Amino acid sequence: MAKKTKLELTWIGKNDRPKLEPRILIEDPDKSHYAKERQSENDIFDNILIHGDNLLALKALEHDYAGKVKCVFIDPPYNTGSAFSHYDDGLEHSLWLSLMRERIESLRVLLSDDGSIWVSLDDNEFAYFKVVMDEIFGRENFIATNIWRKNYSPKSSSNYISVDHDYILVYAKNKQTFVINELPRTDKQNSIYKNPDNDPRGPWTSDNLSARNPYSRGIYSITTPSGAVIEGPPTGRYWAISKEKLEELDADGRIYWTKGGAGTPRLKRFLSDVKGGRVPQSLWGYEEVGHTQDAKKESVALFPKDPFPTPKPEALIERVLTLATNPGDLVVDTFAGSGTTGAVAHKMRRAWIMAELHDHCHTHIMPRLKKVIDGEDPGGITDAVNWKGGGGFRYFNLAPSLLEQDKYGNWVISKEYQPEMLAESMCKHMGFTYAPSTNPEEYWQHGHSTETDFIYVTTQALTHAALTKISEDVGPDRSLLICCKAFSAQADAFDNLTIIKIPQTILRKCEWGRDDYSLNVSNLPMAEPDDPDAELPLFAADGEDQA
């Protein structure tokens, strides 16, 4: 059997993987926002806006949202070296790839089996990133590279060629179960359908009845309604249907005879028989999905004193969500920027989750979404989708790190963690669903992994007597993981209890106290001098023998 070579992209630091802490999310009700009244039964109020590092945010979402997201759209910094006031968009190439690889892997976990991811990029990293996506999603799940023409006129400042496009790279979680929607038909497409003969079936257009593909029953003579005889199809072609089928269609009034009944037949195709939509194409013109100037006008209208420098037009995101989602589906964007994805998803009645680390979470995203919810955003796709307002969002901060160092350098539980926060956090660390019992007699039920397996979290030092009482309450048909500060008993003394100490048990699980994985270049340490004789390839093809 032939051997296959698997291409992989390698770069400096590729194998340096962060050990992410699964933080909990803390809602700030004062920053959450809801419409004063329902506009429809389909209003969505549980949308989520997270302020914090997006890699930690993704880790925080994994337990509750794994396999539930229908569409991911991200517009990451392009790594161009540009100086944006809201982003550090100039990461060294290797760091950018590491940053993206970690996030893409987490986003794949969130996607449903019929979900898809859409990534906006330019030429700077597109070719490299495509290989990384092949590694993570598999080449077999690649859908398309869409070309968005973002400029309508050339840039006179270009040194060589004015670049007028960006890429929208699309992968399915599982191509076998992914279904893409059609686009609505345009007025231009429908305008070619006429009804010159007042056919009761409505407007129609005509199609050629000959083709180049050989067809064994496609060579025959035709007698036209005028009596003229057509000896056969045009030279080098075949009739696309048999003679019997032609006669059947003619009897049903579905054949149009050219030259007043003396010419070749054509098939009458009625508008009422045409599919309600059109197959999407990979070339996206600005006439349909907007361009950068449209996006900037939308941004200026929303933020006249501080417009976002690199927004996407709402029509572009509408195109993505039209193809990839249906009303009620969940959309995620963890490079939220000015909040365009959430604004468009909200207007299209999709649920959304966005994450943003920087201050424009408060200066741009929150004010924008409040306008959308209150029905005070007249721009973008508002008129196209007849948006009137409604719904809401919940605002969350990432909790601080669970462990902190005391004055002696020892790792201890953070003083900011209240008992409920500690219980929820330990549930994430140990793979349990946080669901504390409301029954006072079941104080030890803070969460569960199955219907009979529970977790109890406490900062107390538990005695043998206390553990005996808990064991009796749990009973022989249930099991309990106890996470405590200390205990004075044999760890295996109770058949239905597993006892561990915090923080010792989780010390090596994560990187504690790190809140920023954005890899800002300005914060990078100085590299050691390189060996001038060493060659470090940026791209390599690693061969793997496969059956």
Q: What angle do CA 492, 497, 500 make, to 5 degrees?
A: 75
Listed residues 351, 371, 398: the one ending a domain: 398
Whether residue 539 is predicted with pLDDT greater than 70 in this model: the reply is no
Same-domain check for residues 164 and 306: yes
Tell me how far CA of residue 371 lies from CA of 274, 397, 422, in angstroms. Answer: 39, 21, 36
The per-residue pLDDT of the chain, averaged, comes to 89
CATH number at residue 116: 3.40.50.150
Whether residue 90 is predicted with pLDDT greater than 50 in this model: the reply is no
SS3 assignment, position 485: coil
Percent of the chain with pLDDT over 90: 73
Whether residue 534 is predicted with pLDDT greater than 50 in this model: the reply is no
Looking at residue 294, its pLDDT comes to 84
Residue 545: inside a domain, yes or no?
A: no
Same-domain check for residues 193 and 102: no
Same-domain check for residues 153 and 289: yes
Same-domain check for residues 269 and 367: no
296 touches 307 (CB < 8 A) = yes
Whether residue 525 is predicted with pLDDT greater than 70 in this model: the reply is no
Same-domain check for residues 292 and 144: yes
Whether residue 12 is predicted with pLDDT greater than 70 in this model: the reply is yes
More confident residue, 316 or 78: 316
Q: Residues 294-311: pLDDT tens digits? A: 878 888 888 887 778 778
Same-domain check for residues 57 and 204: no
Q: Give 16's strand partners.
A: none
Same-domain check for residues 43 and 113: yes
Tokens of 30: 């004062």
Which residue, 371, 306, 427, is CA-closest to 63? Answer: 427
Tokens of 200: 């009761």
For the chain, how big is the Rg over CA atoms in Å?
31
Q: Kindly state the average pLDDT of the residues 184-206.
A: 91
Same-domain check for residues 178 and 322: yes
Whether residue 337 is predicted with pLDDT greater than 50 in this model: the reply is yes
- Chain CA centroid to CA 285, Å: 22
Same-domain check for residues 221 and 150: no
Q: Kindly state the average pLDDT of the residues 354-365.
A: 92
80 touches 92 (CB < 8 A) = no
Whole-number Å distance between alpha carbons of 244 and 249: 9
Residue 540: inside a domain, yes or no?
A: no
Whether residue 134 is predicted with pLDDT greater than 70 in this model: the reply is yes
Percent of the chain with pLDDT over 70: 91
Quick one: 42 exposed, middle or buried, by C-beta within 10 A (0-12, 13-18, 19+)? Answer: exposed
Task: At 345, give phi and psi (nearest 5°).
Answer: -60, -40
Lowest mean pLDDT among 117-126, 349-358, 513-522: 513-522
Q: Residues with Cβ < 8 Å from 94, sequence gap 6 or more?
A: 11, 12, 13, 14, 538
Element (H, E) at 399: none
Q: Residues 485-496: pLDDT tens digits? A: 999 988 889 999
Same-domain check for residues 287 and 378: yes
Number of domains in the chain: 3
Scan for tokens 């991200």, then name that residue.
74
526: confidence class by pLDDT, cuts 50, 70, 90: very low
Same-domain check for residues 434 and 300: no
Same-domain check for residues 158 and 285: yes
Listed residues 339, 366, 398: the one ending a domain: 398
66: confidence class by pLDDT, cuts 50, 70, 90: very high
Whole-number Å distance between alpha carbons of 224 and 373: 63
83: confidence class by pLDDT, cuts 50, 70, 90: very low
Looking at residue 533, its pLDDT comes to 39
Q: Between 366-373 and 340-347, two packed helices, what is the crossing angle to 10 degrees?
A: 10
- Segments of 36-84 assigned E as strands: 47-51, 69-74, 82-83
Whether residue 61 is predicted with pLDDT greater than 60 in this model: the reply is yes
Listed residues 398, 432, 458: the one ending a domain: 398
Residue 308: inside a domain, yes or no?
A: yes
Residue 268: inside a domain, yes or no?
A: yes
Residue 539: inside a domain, yes or no?
A: no
In which domain, by residue range, is 238 found? Answer: 187-273
